[in-house]
Amino acid sequence: MTTVIDPHQVDDDAPTPTDLITLVRQTRAAADQANLDLFHLAIAWAHAHPETPGDQSWKAPRSSSVPADELGERDDRTPGTGDLDEDQWFGLPPIAWNAAAPFATANNMSTSAGRAFIRDSLVIRHRMPRVHAKVSAGKVPIWRAHRIARAVLGTPRDVVERVDKAIAPIADTAGLVTVDRLIDEAKLELYAELVEIESLEALEHRHVTLDERTIGHTGIATMDIRADWADLVDFDQAVSRVADALKRDGSPESLDVRRSMAVGVLADPARALALLNSTEPPAPSKSIVAYLHLDTDALEGRGLLATDEHGHTLLATTVREWLARHDRHVTIRPVLDLRGHCDGDGHDGSDPYVPSHITAEKVRLRNPTCVFPQCTKRSRSCDLDHLIAHATSGVTCECNLAPLCRHHHQLKTHAGWTYQQLTPGTFLWREPHGQTLLVTPHGTRDLTDP
Ligand SMILES: [Zn+2]
Ligand SMILES: [Zn+2]
N-terminal to C-terminal alpha carbon distance within the chain: 35
What was the pLDDT predicted at 62?
A: 35
Output the CA 348–ligand 1 centroid distance in Å. Answer: 6
Mean per-residue pLDDT, 27-44: 97
Tell me which ligand sits closest to the C-alpha of residue 412. 2
Output the CA 115–ligand 2 centroid distance in Å. Answer: 13
Q: Is residue 330 part of a domain?
A: no
Tell me which H or E stretch contains 446.
strand 443-446
Same domain assignment for residues 430 and 366: yes
Output the CA 371–ligand 1 centroid distance in Å. Answer: 18
DSSP 133-198: HHHHTTSS-HHHHHHHHHHTTT--HHHHHHHHHHHGGGTTT--HHHHHHHHHHHHHHH-HHHHHHH
Same domain assignment for residues 124 and 138: yes
Q: Is residue 76 part of a domain?
A: yes
Q: How far apart are CA 190 and CA 325, in angstroms?
A: 59
Which residues, 6 or more positions from 353, have their beta carbon under 8 angstroms from its beta carbon?
67, 69, 70, 390, 396
Q: Is residue 40 part of a domain?
A: yes
Q: Is residue 336 part of a domain?
A: no
What was the pLDDT predicted at 53?
A: 77
User: Assign residue 219 a region: left if phi > 0, alpha if psi is -120 to 50, beta otherwise?
Assistant: left
Amino acid 99 reads: A
Ion ligand 1: residues, CB < 5 A: 342, 347, 397, 399
Higher pLDDT, 104 or 391: 104
Q: Per-residue pLDDT tens for 407-447?
A: 999 999 999 999 999 988 899 999 999 999 999 888 899 99
Q: How far apart are CA 184 and CA 199, in angstroms?
A: 12
Tell me which ligand sits closest to the C-alpha of residue 346. 1
Same domain assignment for residues 132 and 221: no
Q: 246: domain range?
A: 206-281
Same domain assignment for residues 191 and 213: no
Q: What is the number of domains present in the chain?
A: 3
Of 160, 182, 205, the residue at which a domain comes to its end is 205
Output the CA 438–ligand 1 centroid distance in Å. Answer: 21
Mean per-residue pLDDT, 137-146: 92
Q: Per-residue pLDDT tens for 271-289?
A: 889 888 888 877 777 777 7
Q: Per-residue pLDDT tens for 299-312?
A: 566 566 677 766 66
Same domain assignment for residues 179 and 210: no
Same domain assignment for residues 196 and 210: no
Q: Is residue 316 part of a domain?
A: no
Confidence of residue 194 (pLDDT cuts 50, 70, 90): confident
Of 183, 205, 227, the residue at which a domain comes to its end is 205
Output the CA 441–ligand 1 centroid distance in Å. Answer: 19
Output the CA 123–ligand 2 centroid distance in Å. Answer: 26
Same domain assignment for residues 95 and 37: yes
Higher pLDDT, 229 or 201: 229
Output the CA 99–ligand 2 centroid distance in Å. Answer: 15
Tell me which ligand sits closest to the C-alpha of residue 112. 2
Confidence of residue 390 (pLDDT cuts 50, 70, 90): confident
Output the CA 286–ligand 1 centroid distance in Å. Answer: 36
Same domain assignment for residues 187 and 220: no
Tell me which ligand sits closest to the C-alpha of residue 407. 2
Q: Is residue 303 part of a domain?
A: no
Same domain assignment for residues 168 and 251: no
Confidence of residue 145 (pLDDT cuts 50, 70, 90): very high
What sections of 308-442 are H helices per DSSP? 316-323, 357-366, 406-414
Mean per-residue pLDDT, 307-329: 70
Share of the chain above pLDDT 90, in %: 41
Same domain assignment for residues 93 and 177: yes
Tell me which ligand sits closest to the C-alpha of residue 373. 2
Of 178, 205, 232, the residue at which a domain comes to its end is 205
Tell me which H or E stretch contains 287.
strand 286-293
Q: Is residue 322 part of a domain?
A: no
Share of the chain above pLDDT 70, in %: 80
Q: Is residue 314 part of a domain?
A: no
Same domain assignment for residues 63 and 187: yes
Output the CA 351–ligand 1 centroid distance in Å. Answer: 10
Same domain assignment for residues 104 and 117: yes
Output the CA 388–ligand 1 centroid distance in Å. Answer: 12
190 — phi, psi (to 5°)?
-90, -30
